[in-house]
Structure 1
Amino acid sequence: MLIRELLGIPMPAGQRLDINSGVARLSGKIWATLWRDDRRTPTTAVLIVHPASNFLGHYALSDLAERGVAAVGLCTRYVGNDSALIMENCVLDIGAAIAHLHRLGYSEIVLVGNSGGGGLAALYQEQAENPTITETPAGDPVDLAGAGLIPADRLVMAMAHPGRATVYTEGLDPAIVDEQDPFGRDPGLDMFDPQHGPPYPAEFVQRYRAAQIARNERISGWAFERLTQLTKLDRPGPDDLPFVVHGTAADLRFTDLTLDPSDRRAGTLWGDPWTANTQPASLGHLTSLRSWLSQWSHTHSRANAYQRLRGVSAPVMVVYGSADCAAFPSHARGMYDAVRHDRRELVEIAGADHYFQGTPELAARMCDHIVEWST
């Protein structure tokens, strides 16, 4: 029989007020659920992570537990609210969870970065194996190098993209010319203007991608300038500010299926691309200056699996779905190619979309791969 436990894990202290809820701050805990089969005594725990998603009810937990491992879904301190999220603090939260699982008697830890957890899991493992980071991109102290992070024994990138900053930049709308107005647009860079496609010509794709990076870097430069201005206020005041980013679901692959070909359908995780591009529930519209640099900045965010996996010595499995419209085949191949040893595996789940909607048998197949590879 499967049983479920709620784990209250001591939360490493943060350096600033970045959690709105006083209840959450004062509890001093992050939370996870642990599933296991009470007829077995597993020694392996599979820990599934994401920077901000609530994984207490993750779809893979019961399937994994049925296969004889302890399955753990983690919530970081930023669960449900990434507007002030600092990736380096999420690394500390994973470290606290792994240490807690060792205290519970689990000797083998498989770290699974799911969806937006891919870049975070890669950053964690690289820093646990080769700790170097002592401050955030904004310059705030965060001593990953001295945190005593325990490396996971294996790493899985499951239905994952290489990192929030990477996929965010790939979806950043370069046609927006006024950061305050999503509808003041450059017609020469507007993917929603039918004169350009789809399908989109190679010249347009190249120009569009360069303009996306340029917009991201302009916002990063502005964020640094604003932080400097805050240090010059006449009176003590805030050291961070919130701001809005319009146009974050404008990846050309959402409408052009000839780019990064796969079995996916056109569209986004949030529906029609034009609507998703500006609706508040889609990706990363509200952020702070410091969070932008840590979480969304193309140049400054460290949670980039393409870069971090180069420094990982643990075995790495990359699992992707052929019908996924958020984590594309090139993401999976790029992460697999970044691993610099031969203890790696690339697995395609044919027909699987990002959340295995309506296909629980395909989710079970992913869990089969993870457990068979972990034992």
Structure 2
Amino acid sequence: MTSSVTQPGSSRGAGTAPELLAIPMAASKRVDIYSGIARQAGKLWAARQRAPGGSGTAVVVIHPSSNFMGHYLLAALSQRGVDVIGANTRYIGNDSMLTMENCVLDIGAIIAHLRAEGYEQVVLVGNSGGGGLSALYQSQAENPTITHTPAGDPVDIVGADLSPADAVIELMAHPGRALVYTEWLDPAITDESDPFRERDSTVDMFEPANGPPYSQGFLERYRAAQVARNRRITAWVHSELDRLDEVSGGQVRDLPFTVHGTVADPRFLDMGIEPSDREPGTLWGPPYQANLSPATLGHLTSLRSWLSQWSFDETRCNGPEQLAKVSVPVLVMYGTADQVCFPSYAQVLFDAVPHDRKELLAVEGATHYFSDQPEQVLRAVDMIVEWLQRNDLIPLPAT
């Protein structure tokens, strides 16, 4: 991977390995990433794969914390006439102190950098957990309102002069981290310090007497209990922040904590709920194991991060709410065999867009990561290219 930088339209490096981009980022006043080297460098890292012959359009693929420098779209989509950037926020690989508002500033830095390089069009692709984030970014870029995080920390999005993307693509996306997290929370957990102690069997999807299949009554109790658990944690977070301020005299402003049981959506076991082409299970193994694995979603967080990233009521990263405020073309794509981003997620994102420059497309048989699915990747790329052309975001092929 080369670190050389050339201008859009150049054929240098076309069809070869991606090049490394080091993009200056807006610094945070608090220590929210561990690495002093990373903080000192003040850079956001991205990989760019150029189209043969170059392109005046850049497609930026983003997620709050996943490393997208090796994203499958880089090689596949760049060969179709558009430069592709697999971008990262400052929280690459570690979302324990992530705040969505800082992610918005990071995307702003990335798009500003690309505009300064000369790109005429920038298309923002929110993949998976990037769906809600891309919607939040575009909403704030078009009409900025945020001056503080939900925890009250200053973050000047209003004064950041964000450059709106020219279009948004929601790719295998869910509506937002807090929303999907709540739908995955294990409501049977009553003791936040021990996921096995005094579990509530009436809302336990792993209790054989409850299913699968799960009754409608069980599912209604289950969903209500998930929201209630999220709200209990949020209330505890606020009380802890108040206590922390008091006992430390305002010197300590955040603490880490653990959340057990974060991969417990009944749809992982009951294929009769929202039938699709998916296989039973999760992306991280059997649901019972994945539910408690430290490698799965949102087990490790902090008080202030919780409010921005995981709180059902206080996060601003609500994809449908934010897409309702955007004016640019929007493409929503989903895989019919996706185990975690269900067709209903795509539908609610699509329905939220207030104008008619929107499309909802299904990639038949595609899984969440397109693992070992080169044909589905190419089909998805075909769909993206045709949509970009229909919306005058890249030129039609020469005849």
Query: So what's the TM-score if we normalise by structure 2?
Result: 0.92
Deviation track 1:292-336 (CA, whole Å, cap 9, x = no partner) reads: 110011111111111111001111000000000110000000100
Question: Do structure 1's residue 77 and structure 2's residue 93 form an aligned pair?
Answer: no
- 1: CA distance between counterparts of 2:261 and 2:54? 49
Deviation track 1:48-74 (CA, whole Å, cap 9, x = no partner) reads: 000000001111111111001000000
Question: Do structure 1's residue 294 and structure 2's residue 308 form an aligned pair?
Answer: yes
Which of 116, 140, 143 is equivalent to 1:127? 140
Q: Which residue of 2 aligns with 1:231?
A: 245
Aligned positions of 1:92-111 closer than 5 A: 92-111=105-124
Unmatched runs of 5 consecutive residues or more in structure 1: none
Which of 58, 71, 94 is equivalent to 2:71? 58
Contact 2:244 2:250 in 1 (8 A): no
Question: Do structure 1's residue 255 and structure 2's residue 262 form an aligned pair?
Answer: no
Which of 185, 196, 220 is equivalent to 1:183? 196
Which of 5, 8, 24 is equivalent to 1:10? 24
Deviation at 1:40, TM superposition (A): 1.1
- 2: CA distance between counterparts of 1:106 and 1:11? 19
Q: Which residue of 1 aligns with 2:152?
A: 139
- 2: CA distance between counterparts of 1:35 and 1:150? 22
Deviation at 1:371, TM superposition (A): 2.0
- 1: CA distance between counterparts of 2:183 and 2:248? 39
- 1: CA distance between counterparts of 2:228 and 2:320? 20
> Identity across aligned pairs (percent)?
59
Deviation at 1:235, TM superposition (A): 4.6
**What RMSD in Å do the two structures reach over aligned CA positions?**
0.9
- 1: CA distance between counterparts of 2:380 and 2:308? 30
- 1: CA distance between counterparts of 2:377 and 2:151? 39
Q: Which residue of 2 aligns with 1:215?
A: 229
Deviation at 1:41, TM superposition (A): 2.5
Q: Which residue of 1 aligns with 2:369?
A: 355
Contact 1:15 1:141 in 2 (8 A): no
Q: Which residue of 1 aligns with 2:326?
A: 312
Change in Cα spacing, 1:228 to 1:41, as seen in structure 2 (3 Å) is: same
Greater strand share, structure number: 1
Deviation at 1:15, TM superposition (A): 2.4
Deviation at 1:236, TM superposition (A): 5.4
Question: Do structure 1's residue 171 and structure 2's residue 188 form an aligned pair?
Answer: no
Contact 1:200 1:256 in 2 (8 A): yes
Q: Which residue of 2 aligns with 1:245?
A: 259
Deviation at 1:237, TM superposition (A): 3.1
Deviation track 1:76-122 (CA, whole Å, cap 9, x = no partner) reads: 10000000001000000000000001111111011000000000000
Q: Report the AA paired with residue 285 of structure 2.
A: G
SS in 2 for 1:228: helix
Deviation at 1:6, TM superposition (A): 0.7
Which of 333, 342, 364 is equivalent to 1:328? 342
Q: Which residue of 1 aligns with 2:171?
A: 158
Question: Do structure 1's residue 342 and structure 2's residue 356 form an aligned pair?
Answer: yes
Which of 220, 227, 239 is equivalent to 1:206? 220
- 2: CA distance between counterparts of 1:89 and 1:121? 13
SS in 1 for 2:122: strand
- 2: CA distance between counterparts of 1:210 and 1:103? 48
Which of 194, 200, 215 is equivalent to 2:208? 194
Q: Report the AA paired with residue 88 of structure 1.
A: E
SS in 2 for 1:176: coil
Question: Do structure 1's residue 47 and structure 2's residue 54 form an aligned pair?
Answer: no
SS in 2 for 1:348: strand
Q: Report the AA paired with residue 238 of structure 1.
A: V
Contact 2:48 2:86 in 1 (8 A): yes
